[in-house]
Amino acid sequence: MKWLKRIGLRMVGTALTLLALVAVCLMLLRAVPGGPLDGEREMPSTVRAAIEAQYGLDLPFSEQYGRYVSNALDGELGPSMQYPDFNVEELIALSAPITITLGLLATFLALGAAIPIAAAIAAEPMALQAARTGTLVMLAVPKFVLAPLLVLVFSLSLNWLPVGGFAWREPLTWVLPVACLALPQFFVLLRVLIENMRAAMEKSPVIAARARGYSPLRVVTRHALPLALAQTFGFFGPILVALLTGSAVIEQVFNIPGLGRYLVQAALNRDFTLLIGCVITVATITIVAHFVVESLQELFDPRVRARG
Residues of the shown chain interacting with another protein in the complex, contacts defined by CB under 8 A: 32-36, 38-44, 46-47, 49-51, 54, 79, 82-87, 91, 94-95, 148, 151-152, 155-156, 159, 162-167, 170-173, 252-258, 261-262, 268-270
From the CB of 45, what's the least distance to another protein, in Å? Answer: 8
Q: Cβ 61 to another protein, closest distance in Å?
A: 20
- Least distance between another protein and beta carbon 186 (Å): 23
For another protein, the closer of residues 35 and 226 by Cβ is 35
Q: How far is the CB of 149 from another protein (least distance, A)?
A: 12
Residue 108 C-beta: closest distance to another protein, Å: 18
Query: With respect to another protein, which residue has the nearer C-beta, 77 or 111?
Result: 77
**Between 190 and 253, whose beta carbon lies closer to another protein?**
253
Q: Smaller CB distance to another protein: residue 191 or 261?
A: 261
Task: Give every CB contact of residue 277 below 8 A, 6+ residues apart in sequence.
Answer: 77, 88, 89, 91, 92
Q: Judged by CB, which is closer to another protein: 131, or 263?
A: 263
Q: Whole-number minimum distance, CB 232 to another protein, in Å?
A: 33
Q: Which is nearer to another protein, 231 or 252 (CB)?
A: 252
Closer CB to another protein, residue 186 or residue 262?
Answer: 262
d(CA 229, CA 118): 11
The C-alpha atoms of residue 216 and residue 195 are separated, in whole angstroms, by 18
Q: How far is the CB of 196 from another protein (least distance, A)?
A: 37
With left for phi above 0 and alpha for psi between -120 and 50, is residue 256 left, alpha or beta?
A: beta
